[in-house]
């Protein structure tokens, strides 16, 4: 149906009652909606934009050039999501052949490439370094494996109200720890909250490898490699998997939008009613219980259960409103740190760029410009004071090489995540943006001489742009810093950590909830499971 | 040849505390100290006629009152004078004063922000709650989470119960607190930069971290857990300088029959069939002992004094990976007269407390960025005291001693060793900062001692000149301190123990590591520990 029909239908004070209304059509909202529909509930999903997908959309940024607008690599879509939504049936298939390598570029020593699933093989490094990496990789994946089960569970309940199954699951983790053996368990307990730089210095020597790992650890967070707890970022990354291979990654054909399309397909099939261009302005609350939502155009929709995939501060401070909430809770919500540091660069290039020493396979993968740990740390420093990195670090993909449909014939799309670009830039992004773009292009020129002359069109999304376009306050793709003090029972805040909230019948299912962001669908998955469990009890 | 029951290597405060407890338990104990004086980093040195310098540690608060009582330190002359507070000077010529009195403190904050004044009550309450949770752990041996020994399991249960008693929401708060940066923690309470800078100081002193580094909120706690005469969080001067503490300890030790040998540098620890038999001094002299307890830091002890072949590889690897980072320096100054700070009102009590010039968290963090780049801070953070404003015994009448703790100061300058020229340039950076706020300051200087990590390591024997004998990060706390599997003061070598700040609960003139080590040793000897009082509860 066309959007105007939607407007009409909505405008005509829509009375049909729904069991569930889901706010936000990003991947987490869609996953949660689908699972609840499959459980027999009548589900309506409302998306503010004209298209589903949120930060996982594929957008056209220049005539004939399309790109995954925020997330551009698939590396953590949760296996349970793939299974329970039957995504393969809905067109999401990944052949092992599609897995792409990561290449760490260095102007000095040439490229180093992690092949297979997160460096099962290592090309371009010395024999001794390859051996050291083999050990470290095994250790990292082993430890990430201990944490992995937490991704698909609600955080441990400090009130002690846990089901047999949940308590048993925790016991399993304790057992897994024991299984490591005494010494390995001791090392695990030491490194868990360590900074990534120290661990790398203890075990590796190659700056290109260290730089890449340091970059992955701090990607999407306001931390430098020397900040304590930064290693958690790497564990989070390696707890993700593709087709059972931890740390594996691929550049989805058709962009991230194709993944969303598959999930949306599953949603429709399950009977979810999907409505776009239906922004809501209020969550109705009557005596402490959510009763429905109010649309921007005044339309109201009643529901017994309201689920928000929007970020926690929008949900509680804007849509619910402080009046309905305890002041302590409101304070906690307003203390959530959700200022993004990552910008997104999209270049429409006349022809594919070249990077010295990188072959065709490498170009189809992930190219990282983070030549050393210190380099990443130096890039981080200015962001602490509201300044962008004069020499930013980048994660580059060239999606049109594997999927020509994304660009006109012979042309090429370059998509890059760039750090650090603090949301609260002191001089303001108005004047800062062109300067930052210069800094980025300066780096690109260094690694791919002449690339600047082939640029037909440029789109740079700063956190401020991301905030406006994808309704992510602070422009943070995790809907809030993913640091130790904002994880598990502190995500988004204690009191709303188990997807249920202080408002009866209102739940969270977005990246702001445990386990956090990235295209995993895990928050949506856990929320749906939790809601089904709770409504069964009551 | 005589065989001692126990030989303690190093006469620092922890070594002496340890020796005192062992001697009082009936052991025959010898303390060997490489310098010609005891005290380690808690000393009062006469470096220019008539002046006593607290030239390493400079304030007293963390030293456990239980230990003072057990070892009767007041009877041996120890007297701690609490000071009122201090001040942070702001670049616009104003200042923020600190007071021990909560209400006075709040009123001072109100000068800057009503909101912050109100938040201070909440802040004080929350921090005290965290202290209450952590303080009892100071005087207990950290349990080994991988062990199934009844005692370890019991201790774990004890901590778990204490944690559980906090109640759900406080449990969550505590978990957050432990991994937060002090700057983020303060952002949740205060809006005024100088007030945040003022509190963040305790989050970074002695560590190689900036106020924006996660984990510094805990370091704040480490500086708040102290007390003077029962007033928690208070700080004071030891009358006669910090040496008064170790002087009282050594007198208490000798009074109970212990022996001390100064000017006796240890060359190596003797090991036979996996068990220590004593030590060898630099001169080659051998001293036999059934037990050897090292007050030196874990790296110095196991990488310098013990031969590698005597130690398991896993243990060696972990000792090498233990992070001891020099991050601070010290400038000690003899003054002809009391310096003036025009910003302060006449006779303000602040002059008798700790003075700072860093009025924003950003300045503090930028100072840390310099350190990361291998340089001393161009705009350093100073913790400055003039103890002679309360203790006239350290200098001739009318003269004064000033102690300046300086952060950040790297163990090496851009990768190379310190030169004397570097040291002088470093001192100039410090002096010029003081002179900016105190006209005519340079003219008052009679004598000055400048100590970079190089000097601290050479004289006191602290690796990299790190005052805590190891970073206070999560990977080096509790059962991880100093290394996993050996966090209970024992070592892979029979009869060899460590009792310095490298061990739980860490640095500061606290005495807890020395005391806890003694408890473990006496347990191994199955001797009574009745003379050791347990941690008292925080009121």
A56 vs A29, A99, A262, B353, CA distance in Å?
Answer: 12, 19, 12, 57
What count of residues does chain B have? 539
Helical axes A231-239 vs A207-218, angle rounded to 10°: 80
> And the tokens for B505?
């609960």
pLDDT in tens, B342-388: 999 998 999 999 999 999 999 999 999 999 999 999 999 999 999 99
For residue B224, give every residue at least 6 positions away whose Cβ sits within 8 Å of its Cβ, in sequence order, or none.
Answer: B127, B131, B202, B232, B233
From CA B80, how far away is CA B68, in angstroms rounded? 11
Phi, psi of A369 (to 5 degrees): -105, 95
Least CB-CB distance to A485: which of B180, B372, B484?
A: B180
Least CB-CB distance to B146: which of A185, A335, A488?
A: A185
Helix H, strand E, coil C: the string for B225-244 is CCEECCEECCCEEECCCCHH
Least CB-CB distance to A186: which of B173, B362, B485?
A: B485
> And the tokens for A28?
């987490």
Cα end-to-end distance, chain B, whole Å: 51
Residue with structure tokens 């002059």? B351
From CA A499, how far away is CA A488, in angstroms rounded? 11
For residue B187, give every residue at least 6 positions away whose Cβ sits within 8 Å of its Cβ, in sequence order, or none.
Answer: A335, B196
From CA A165, how far away is CA B104, in angstroms rounded? 54
**Closest-CA residue to A215 (of A457, A418, A8):** A418
* For residues A260-287, average pLDDT: 97
**Closest-CA residue to A324 (of A283, A295, A280):** A283
pLDDT in tens, A16-43: 679 999 999 999 999 999 999 999 999 9
Least CB-CB distance to B171: which of A158, A193, A335?
A: A158
A484 contacts B475? CB cut-off 8 A: no
Confidence of residue A496 (pLDDT cuts 50, 70, 90): very high
Residues of chain A that touch chain B, judged by Cβ-Cβ distance less than 8 Å: 158-159, 182-183, 185-187, 189-195, 198, 202, 223, 226-229, 331, 335, 337, 377, 381, 384-385, 483-486, 488-490, 494-495, 497
ipTM exceeds 0.85, yes or no:
yes
From CA A163, how far away is CA A308, in angstroms rounded? 24
Question: Does the structure show a pLDDT above 70 at A2?
Answer: no
Are the C-beta atoms of residues A70 and A219 closer than 8 Å to each other? no
* For residues B72-97, average pLDDT: 95
CA-nearest residue to A203 within chain B is B321
Report yes or no: B369 at the A interface, CB cutoff 8 Å.
Answer: yes
Question: Does the structure show a pLDDT above 90 at A7?
Answer: no
pTM, rounded to two decimals: 0.96
pLDDT of residue A13: 40
Mutant choice from A177, A191, A193, A376 vs B, greatest count of B C-beta within 10 A: A193
From CA B142, how far away is CA B513, in angstroms rounded? 11
pLDDT in tens, A75-95: 999 999 999 999 999 999 878
pLDDT in tens, B314-324: 999 999 999 99
Which H/E stretch holds residue B522? helix B512-524
> And the tokens for B514?
């020395």
Q: What is the DSSP string of A149-211?
A: GGGGSPPP-TT----HHHHHHHHHHHHHHHHT-HHHHHHHHHHTT--HHHHHHHH---HHHHH
A2 vs A44, A275, A296, CA distance in Å?
Answer: 17, 10, 18
pLDDT of residue A519: 96
Task: Determine whether B418 is exposed, middle or buried from the number of CB atoms within 10 Å of its CB (0-12, 13-18, 19+).
Answer: buried
The least confident of A2-6, A472-476, A522-526 is A2-6
* For residues B318-338, average pLDDT: 97
Q: How many CA atoms lie within 13 A of A355 on its CB side?
A: 30
A494 contacts B146? CB cut-off 8 A: no
Report yes or no: B184 at the A interface, CB cutoff 8 Å.
Answer: yes
Q: What is the DSSP string of A344-412?
A: EEEEEESS----TT--HHHHTSEEEE---HHHHHHHHGGGGGT---SS-EEEEE-GGGT-GGGSSTT-E
Helical axes B216-224 vs B193-204, angle rounded to 10°: 80
CA-nearest residue to A485 within chain B is B176
Least CB-CB distance to B168: which of A159, A198, A226?
A: A159
pLDDT in tens, A124-136: 999 999 999 999 9
Q: Where are the beta strands (DSSP E) in B241-380?
A: 259-261, 266-272, 275-281, 286-294, 328-335, 354-356
pLDDT of residue A16: 63
SS3 (DSSP) at A525: helix
CA-nearest residue to B147 within chain A is A182
Are the C-beta atoms of residues A340 and A311 closer than 8 Å to each other? no
From CA A445, how far away is CA B230, in angstroms rounded? 64
From CA B208, how far away is CA B205, in angstroms rounded? 9
Helical axes B216-224 vs B168-179, angle rounded to 10°: 100
pLDDT in tens, B441-451: 999 999 999 99
Which residues of chain A does B145 touch, with a Cβ-Cβ cutoff of 8 Å?
A: 185, 189
Are the C-beta atoms of residues B366 and B379 closer than 8 Å to each other? yes
**Closest-CA residue to B294 (of B15, B5, B50):** B15
A202 contacts B474? CB cut-off 8 A: no
Which H/E stretch holds residue B137? helix B114-138
Q: Where are the beta strands (DSSP E) in A69-126?
A: 102-104, 112-115, 121-123
pLDDT in tens, B109-159: 999 999 999 999 999 999 999 988 888 899 999 999 999 999 999 999 999
Distance from CA of B300 to the nearest CA of A (A): 19
**Closest-CA residue to B83 (of B52, B59, B107, B55):** B59
């Amino acid at each position: 149906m066309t959007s105007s029909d939607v407007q009409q239908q909505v405008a005509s004070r829509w009375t049909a009652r729904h069991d569930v209304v889901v706010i936000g059509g990003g991947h987490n909202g869609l996953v949660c909606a689908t699972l609840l529909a499959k459980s027999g509930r009548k589900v309506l999903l409302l998306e503010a934009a004209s298209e589903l997908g949120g930060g996982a959309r594929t957008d056209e940024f220049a005539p004939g050039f399309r790109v995954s607008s925020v997330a551009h690599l698939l590396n953590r879509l949760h296996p349970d999501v793939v299974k329970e939504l039957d995504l393969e049936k809905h067109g999401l298939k990944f052949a092992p052949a599609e897995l792409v390598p990561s290449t760490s570029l260095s102007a000095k020593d040439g490229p180093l490439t992690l092949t297979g699933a997160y460096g099962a093989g290592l090309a371009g490094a010395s024999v001794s370094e390859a051996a050291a990496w083999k050990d470290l990789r095994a250790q990292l994946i082993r430890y990430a494996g201990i944490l992995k089960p937490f991704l698909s569970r609600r955080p441990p309940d400090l009130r002690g109200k846990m089901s047999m199954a949940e308590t048993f699951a925790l016991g399993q983790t304790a057992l897994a720890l024991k299984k490591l053996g005494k010494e390995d368990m001791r090392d695990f307990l030491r490194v868990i909250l360590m900074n990534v730089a120290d661990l790398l210095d203890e075990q590796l020597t190659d700056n290109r490898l260290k730089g890449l790992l340091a970059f992955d650890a701090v990607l999407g967070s306001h931390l430098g490699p020397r900040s304590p707890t930064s290693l958690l970022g790497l564990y989070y990354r390696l707890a993700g998997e593709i087709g059972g291979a931890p740390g594996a990654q691929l550049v989805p054909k058709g962009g991230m939008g194709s993944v969303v399309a598959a999930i949306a397909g599953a949603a429709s099939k399950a009977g979810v009613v999907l409505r776009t261009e239906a922004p809501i302005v209020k969550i109705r609350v009557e005596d402490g219980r959510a009763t429905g939502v109010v649309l921007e155009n005044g339309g109201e929709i009643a529901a017994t259960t309201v689920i928000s995939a929007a970020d926690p501060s929008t949900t509680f401070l804007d849509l619910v409103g402080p009046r309905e909430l305890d002041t302590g809770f409101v304070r906690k919500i307003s203390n959530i740190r959700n200022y993004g540091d990552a910008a997104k660069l999209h270049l429409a290039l006349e022809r594919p760029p070249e990077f010295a020493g990188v072959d065709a396979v490498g170009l189809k993968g992930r190219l990282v410009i983070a030549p050393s740990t210190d380099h990443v740390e130096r890039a981080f420093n200015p962001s602490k004071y509201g300044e962008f990195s004069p020499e930013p670090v980048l994660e580059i993909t060239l999606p049109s090489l594997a999927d020509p449909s994304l660009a006109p014939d012979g042309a090429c799309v370059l998509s890059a995540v760039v750090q650090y670009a603090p949301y609260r830039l002191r001089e303001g992004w108005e004047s800062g943006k062109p300067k930052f773009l210069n800094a980025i292009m300066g780096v690109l020129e260094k690694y791919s001489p002449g690339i600047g002359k082939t640029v037909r069109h440029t789109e740079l999304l700063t956190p401020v742009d991301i905030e406006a376009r994808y309704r992510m306050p602070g422009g943070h793709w995790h809907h809030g810093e993913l640091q130790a003090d904002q994880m598990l029972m502190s995500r988004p805040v204690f009191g709303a950590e188990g997807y249920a909230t202080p408002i009866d019948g209102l739940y969270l299912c977005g990246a702001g909830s445990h386990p956090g962001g990235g295209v995993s669908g895990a928050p949506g998955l856990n929320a749906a499971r939790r809601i089904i469990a709770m409504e069964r009890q009551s | 040849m005589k065989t001692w029951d126990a030989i303690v290597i190093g006469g620092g405060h922890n070594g002496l505390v340890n020796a005192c407890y062992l001697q009082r338990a009936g052991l025959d104990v010898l303390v060997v100290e490489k310098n010609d004086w005891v005290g380690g980093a808690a000393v009062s040195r006469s470096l220019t006629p008539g002046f006593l310098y607290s030239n390493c540690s400079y304030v007293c608060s963390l030293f456990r009152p239980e230990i003072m009582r057990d070892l009767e330190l007041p009877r041996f002359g120890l007297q701690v004078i609490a000071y009122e507070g201090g001040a942070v000077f702001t670049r616009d010529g104003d200042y923020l004063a600190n007071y021990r009195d909560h209400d006075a403190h709040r009123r001072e904050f109100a000068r800057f922000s009503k909101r912050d004044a109100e938040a201070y009550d909440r802040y004080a309450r929350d921090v005290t709650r965290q202290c209450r949770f952590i303080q009892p752990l100071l005087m207990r041996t950290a349990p080994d989470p991988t062990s199934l020994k009844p005692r370890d399991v019991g201790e774990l249960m004890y901590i778990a119960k204490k944690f559980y008693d906090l109640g759900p929401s406080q449990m969550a708060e505590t978990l957050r607190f432990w991994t937060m940066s002090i700057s983020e923690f303060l952002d949740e309470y205060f809006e005024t930069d100088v007030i945040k800078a003022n509190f963040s100081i305790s989050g970074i002193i002695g560590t190689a971290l900036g106020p924006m580094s996660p984990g510094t909120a805990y370091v704040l706690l480490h500086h708040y857990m102290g007390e003077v005469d029962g007033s928690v969080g208070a700080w004071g001067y030891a009358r006669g300088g910090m040496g008064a503490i170790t002087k009282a300890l050594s007198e208490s030790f000798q009074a109970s029959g212990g022996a001390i040998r100064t000017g006796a540098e240890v060359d190596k620890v003797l090991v036979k069939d996996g068990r220590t038999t004593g030590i060898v001094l630099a001169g080659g002299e051998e001293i036999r002992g059934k037990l050897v307890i090292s007050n030196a830091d874990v790296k110095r002890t196991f990488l310098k004094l013990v031969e590698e072949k005597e130690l398991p590889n896993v243990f060696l690897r972990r000792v090498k990976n233990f992070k001891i980072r020099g991050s601070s320096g010290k400038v000690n100054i003899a003054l002809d007269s009391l310096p003036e700070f025009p910003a302060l009102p006449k006779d303000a009590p602040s002059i008798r407390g700790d003075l700072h010039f860093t009025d924003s968290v950003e300045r503090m963090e930028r100072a840390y960025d310099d350190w990361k780049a291998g340089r001393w801070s161009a705009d350093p953070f100073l913790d400055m005291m003039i103890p002679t404003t309360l203790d006239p015994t350290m200098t001739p009448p009318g003269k004064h001693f000033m102690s300046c703790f300086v952060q950040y100061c790297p163990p090496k300058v851009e990768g190379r060793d310190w030169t004397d020229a570097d040291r002088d340039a470093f001192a100039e950076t410090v002096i010029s900062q003081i002179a900016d706020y105190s006209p005519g300051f340079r003219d008052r200087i009679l004598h000055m001692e400048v100590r970079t990590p190089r000097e601290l390591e050479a004289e006191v024997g602290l690796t990299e000149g790190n005052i805590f004998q190891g970073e206070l990060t999560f990977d080096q706390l509790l059962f991880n301190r100093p290394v996993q599997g050996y966090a209970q003061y024992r070592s892979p070598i029979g009869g060899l123990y460590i009792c310095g700040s490298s061990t739980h609960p860490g640095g500061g003139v606290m005495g807890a590591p020395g005391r806890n080590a003694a408890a473990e040793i006496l347990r191994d000897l199955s001797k009574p520990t009745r003379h050791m009082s347990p941690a008292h509860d925080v009121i």
